[in-house]
A = this chain, B = another copy of it.
Amino acid sequence: MASTARVKEILSWYPSDNAGVKTNLSRLLNTGRLAGTGKLVILPVDQGFEHGPDRSFGPNPPAFDPDYHYQLAVEAGCNAYAAPLGFLEATAGKFAGEVPLILKLNNSDLLEEVEPRSAITSSVKDAVRLGCTAVGYTIYPGSKERNATFQDLRDIIREAKEYGLPTVLWAYPRGSGIPKTSEQAVDVIAYAAQISAQMGAHVIKVKPPNATVHTKEAKAVYEKAGTKLETLADRVRVVTRAAFNGHRIVIFSGGEAKDTASVLEDVKQIAAGGGFGSIMGRNSFQRPKADAIQLLSQVMEAFASK
């Protein structure tokens, strides 16, 4: 499909990238029910690895099957489906191209708690071999393992670019430098978004920021400028501003499974604040498939109407 003016505008924010990366970015933006709007809804399914299989898929047992998620992403009209190697190995060669795939290159599990740093579990070349449209990677700003994680990311972004693949970055502030209560503080989430953008991420995924302000320096700046932080929309504005004044694609996760009304209210706030979309895992695959498709459809409408 021909790119819309909005998609062309978004692509113009990446002037130093090669044609391959821009082509795959446009594939993400030109797929599914939100194609052409500049908004994205992505289905991520790494919880089997990150939280364990029973806890993740037990509430909706068909979700134990890799096919289930690929098909859910297609049927719901998502822009992309993101998962670790195993789930993509089990489906990419079978369905071959029905939805853009994002290979999550690193993962953690809950069987041992260490200073946050995910293990690298697959490679850029795996993503190429599986026909993926982008690679995904998780960083934990605030972790003592920062340097190693950032340096691995640097190598991944560089290699991915060589294959024309953009990088989607999951940025979760966490670790010994950040108290639990500040992990979603608005200034911390904004800082994480800035780091992600400076590292060269093409798409940045953060958690919805809350009204906590972690650092006194940011607090002083907000107060002096009269920055509004009351609503989620206000705070999403602060975060997208931190991502190159809105010139990087920032999407927000849904967090823990919750009721439909709450999910939709969050989404509307995110859209109102200038967020580029949502990435919604547990709220999708832990419901019966028909319910999930309906919810995702409502989420997409919320973004499309902005």
Which residues of A pack against B, CB within 8 Å? Answer: 12-17, 48-49, 51-55, 58-59, 61, 64-66, 84-94, 107, 109-114, 117-123, 125-126, 129-130, 141-144, 146-147, 150-151, 154, 158, 173, 175-178, 187-188, 190-195, 197-201, 215, 217-218, 221-222, 224-225, 227, 238, 241-242, 244-245, 247-248
Most chain-B CB neighbours within 10 Å: which of A54, A59, A177, A201?
Answer: A54
Could you jot down 28 A-B contacts, CB within 8 Å? Answer: A15-B93, A16-B89, A16-B93, A16-B130, A48-B198, A52-B190, A52-B217, A53-B191, A53-B241, A54-B187, A54-B217, A54-B222, A55-B215, A59-B224, A84-B198, A109-B146, A109-B195, A111-B141, A111-B146, A111-B175, A111-B178, A112-B175, A112-B176, A112-B178, A113-B177, A114-B146, A120-B151, A121-B150
CB pair A245 B114 closer than 8 Å = no
A123 to B17, CA, bound (A): 15
Cβ–Cβ contact B53 & A242, under 8 A: yes
Q: Which residue of B125, B129, B146 contacts A112 across the interface (Cβ within 8 Å)?
A: B146
Instruction: Output the nearest chain B residue to A238 by Cβ-Cβ distance.
Output: B54
Using A90-B244, A121-B199 as known contacts, list a sample of 20 further A-B pairs with CB atoms less than 8 Å apart, ordered by residue number in A.
A15-B94, A16-B129, A48-B242, A49-B195, A52-B190, A52-B194, A53-B241, A54-B187, A54-B191, A54-B218, A54-B221, A54-B222, A55-B221, A64-B241, A65-B244, A65-B247, A111-B191, A112-B176, A113-B177, A122-B154
